[in-house]
Amino acid sequence: MFTHNKKLQYTVRVSEPNPVLASLMLEQFGGPQGELAAAMRYFTQAIAEDDPGRRDMLFDIATEELSHLEIIGSIVSMLNKGAKGQLAEATQSEAELYRSVTQGADSHTQAILYGGGAGLTNSSGVPWTAAYIDTIGEPTADLRSNIAAEARAKIVYERLINVTDDAGIKEALGFLMTREIAHQISFEKALYAIQPNFPPGKMPGMPQFSHLYVNTSQGPTDHKGPWNTGENWQRMDDVLGGIPLDGGDGAASVHLGSSQSEDLANFAARTQSNPGSDPVTGADLGSSGGAEARHSPAE
């Protein structure tokens, strides 16, 4: 059960309307790194979570993300207030009104389609989709995904902060950005509280391949580091000489029954290409000189 506190978690102070900036802010309203996506990601994880501590944490953060959605939506709404009133009351001339709602970005869509409200789209007008939710149902995988999601959201907030000089908006966005950091910490603590937490899932990897680094991109710019070199790594630089890794012939095979083998052989024979043929194609006919150009007079 949810209850709603009519006060925003952080006060929104917008100095003046700016429909273009409102369009950019929609990235954190209905975008893939936005607050609705975060709320739905953590809420659905919480419902399926069996650990009482993680369940409580996920519900808490999911609910807070909804409050952040309200903050972003309020910023968008305040930035659109001027165009909303002008469009509704037609107090400007046609040309002036047109300019006010088509300043750039997706501002015209917000004005005409949403009446200056915050539509559930990203900054390019793409509708929000549940496809943004990448939950897999395994806590050690989902928590890592959550950490990355909060990190991406923080970066988007940094970029939004950099495109506005409005002190009130910067302050509110700075708060939201900081909460992304707090959530990263919570998710990382929860991940490390699971022992063991890597690799995700129950099944172990094949030991001969789990610490094998295959250097498949070779050249003068090759670099070594802890990600591919050290006592924990077996490194394969001679890729062609070591493929296939299992020591087999590297071909795909399947066991077929006698009737299946016969059918397959008949099919292969019926559809076999003649490597000695050189048929005239439509491309030949359409090329300069036509089909005759393919043969010299001597021929």
Residue-wise pLDDT for 183-194, tens only, equals 999 999 999 999
Among residues 157, 160, 162, the alpha carbon closest in space to that of 178 is found at: 157
Structure pTM?
0.82
CB 144 within 8 A of CB 191: yes
Predicted confidence at residue 32, as pLDDT, reads 97
Enumerate the β-bridge partners of residue 213: 235
Which range scores top for mean pLDDT: 52-66, 90-104, 195-209? 52-66
* The pLDDT of residue 299 is above 70: no
C-alpha 130, offset from chain centre: 12
The maximal CA–CA distance of the chain, rounded, in angstroms, is 92
Residue 258 tokens read as: 């006698």
CB 83 within 8 A of CB 173: no
d(CA 93, CA 209): 70
d(CA 116, CA 114): 5
Residue-wise pLDDT for 151-186, tens only, equals 999 999 999 999 999 999 999 999 999 999 999 999
Predicted confidence at residue 95, as pLDDT, reads 46
Predicted confidence at residue 238, as pLDDT, reads 80
CB neighbourhood size of 71 (10 A): 22
C-alpha 296, offset from chain centre: 57
CB 116 within 8 A of CB 77: yes
Three-state SS at 287: coil
Residue 65 tokens read as: 């993300």
Q: Mean pLDDT throughout 243-265?
A: 94
CB 183 within 8 A of CB 61: yes
**Cα angle, residue 161 at apex, residues 183 and 106 outer, rounded to 5°:** 105
The rounded mean pLDDT for the chain is: 88
* The pLDDT of residue 109 is above 70: no
* The pLDDT of residue 111 is above 90: no
Pick the range with the lowest mean pLDDT from 2-6, 82-86, 196-200: 82-86
For residue 235, the surrounding DSSP H or E stretch is strand 234-236
For a pLDDT cut of 90, what percent of the chain falls above it? 71
- Total count of residues recorded for the chain: 299
CA atoms within 13 A on the CB side of 202: 1
Q: Mean pLDDT throughout 58-66?
A: 98
